[in-house]
Amino acid sequence: MTAPTLELTTTALARLVDHTLLAPDATRDDVATHVDAARRMGVLAVCVSPSMLPLEDAHDVVVATVVGFPSGKHHSDVKAAEAARAAADGADEIDMVIDLGAAKAGRFDLVEADVAAVRAAAPRVTLKVIIESAALTDEQVVGACRAAEAAGADFVKTSTGFHPAGGASEHAVRIMAETVGGRLGVKASGGIRTREQAERMVAAGATRLGLSGTAAILAGAPGEGSGY
């Protein structure tokens, strides 16, 4: 049986997209080109590395950045300091990476404390919590989502796009959406390369999409890049 696809207009799909450039070799000229492309495509947000902030010419798009990226194996106070700096540099949204090892060990108290530290450091930004769902069991996905919600997150997010276990899956998105029950958003990110994949993620419960090959995906062609 074929999984359902939610057909969206190109404009509606674009308004779910964080147009993402997190390549470590990206230059400021690359970021400027990326922001210009985001504006032309009508996407909701751009997501760039924190060292690229502030973005001087991104007034008409939401600005997102990452914290503890991509491994999550940073002290919570370091993540908190990074979040505070990002907010001061103009970030509207922060995508933080949890300590994946803590989640795999069932130490969701530590996951919650980690998220809470970032939440406290940047209380006015939208906080998305990356759980690396492909590396977790279903039960661990549920536990990580519950910890993120308890700590005050606004979204849970599937993946960094850098973990060898893989990126977003419809299965994980569905579990995450069921767990947070509409109280938090769900961002699908990592390995989304076609419009059909993007629409399937939305049908499974994603309310935001992290894409790097955005233009091709919106056009209905395979997108290049990792789809962070």
d(CA 202, CA 194): 13
d(CA 10, CA 215): 10
Closest to 132 in 3D by CA, of 153, 109, 157, 113: 157
Active site residue 95: yes
Cα dihedral 50, 72, 170, 20, rounded to 10, equals 10
Active-site residue, from 18, 79, 154, 187: 187
d(CA 35, CA 46): 7
Active site residue 36: no
Active site residue 157: yes
Active-site residue, from 79, 99, 154, 157: 157
- The pair phi, psi for residue 39, each rounded to 5°, is -65, -45
d(CA 133, CA 191): 13
d(CA 186, CA 52): 25
Active-site residue, from 95, 99, 114, 154: 95
Q: What is the CA radius of gyration of the chain?
A: 16
**Which CA distances in Å does 163 have to 63, 66, 119, 135?**
24, 15, 24, 8
Active site residues: 95, 157, 187
